[in-house]
Amino acid sequence: MSLDRLAPAVFVLLWSTGWVVAKYASLHSEPFTFLSMRYALSAAAFLALCLVVRAQWPNSRAAALRAVYSGFFLHGFYLAGLWWAIANGVPAGISGIIAALQPLLTAMAAPFLIGERLQQAQKLGLALGFIGIATAISPKLLDPATADLTHAALPLAINLVAMASVTYGTLYQKKHLQSGDLRTIATLQYIGALILTLPLSLIFEHQHFDGAAQAYGALAWSVFGLSMGGVGLLLYLIRRGQVSRAASLIYLMPPAVALEAFIAFGEPLTLPLIVGTVVVVTGVYLTNRKAFSEHRPAEV
- In three state form, how does the secondary structure of the chain look? CCHHHHHHHHHHHHHHHHHHHHHHHHHHECHHHHHHHHHHHHHHHHHHHHHHHCCCCCCCHHHHHHHHHHHHHHHHHHHHHHHHHHHCCCCHHHHHHHHHHHHHHHHHHHHHHCCCCCCHHHHHHHHHHHHHHHHHCHHHHCCHHHCCCHHHHHHHHHHHHHHHHHHHHHHHHHHHCCCCCHHHHHHHHHHHHHHHHHHHHHHHCCCCECCCHHHHHHHHHHHHHHHHHHHHHHHHHHHHCCHHHHHHHHHHHHHHHHHHHHHHHCCCCCHHHHHHHHHHHHHHHHHHCCHHHHHHHHHC
Could you tell me which of 251, 252, 250, 274 has the C-alpha nearest to residue 262?
274
Question: Rounded distance, CA 231 to CA 70, Å?
Answer: 13
Residue type for position 25: A
pLDDT of 62-108, one tens digit each? 999 999 999 999 899 988 988 888 777 776 656 666 776 677 677 77
Question: Rounded distance, CA 95 to CA 101, Å?
Answer: 10
C-alpha dist (Å) from residue 107 to 68, 122, 162, 170, 179? 24, 10, 17, 11, 22
In a domain, 299, yes or no: no
Cβ atoms of 100 and 166 within 8 Å: the answer is: no
Report the predicted TM-score, pTM, of the whole model to 2 decimal places.
0.76
In a domain, 67, yes or no: yes
Q: Which residues in 127-153 are b (16+ Cβ under 10 Å) and which e?
A: bbbbbbbbbbbbebeeeeeeeeeeebe
Q: How many distinct structural domains can be found in the chain?
A: 1
Instruction: Find the domain containing 234 and state its range.
Output: 3-294
Could you tell me which of 23, 13, 16, 3 has the C-alpha nearest to residue 214?
23
In a domain, 300, yes or no: no
Beta bridge partners of residue 209, listed in sequence order? 29
In a domain, 137, yes or no: yes
CB count, 10 Å around CB of 6?
Answer: 11
In a domain, 36, yes or no: yes
Beta bridge partners of residue 29, listed in sequence order? 209
In a domain, 189, yes or no: yes
Residuewise pLDDT in 10s, the chain (300 residues): 466 667 777 877 787 787 777 777 888 899 999 999 999 999 999 999 999 999 999 989 999 999 999 999 989 998 898 888 877 777 665 666 677 667 767 777 777 766 777 677 777 777 777 787 777 766 665 665 555 555 667 888 888 888 889 889 888 888 888 888 989 999 999 999 999 999 999 999 999 999 898 889 989 999 999 989 888 888 888 787 656 666 667 667 667 766 766 776 566 777 877 787 777 777 777 766 654 344 433 332
Q: What is the CA radius of gyration of the chain?
A: 19
In a domain, 40, yes or no: yes
In a domain, 165, yes or no: yes
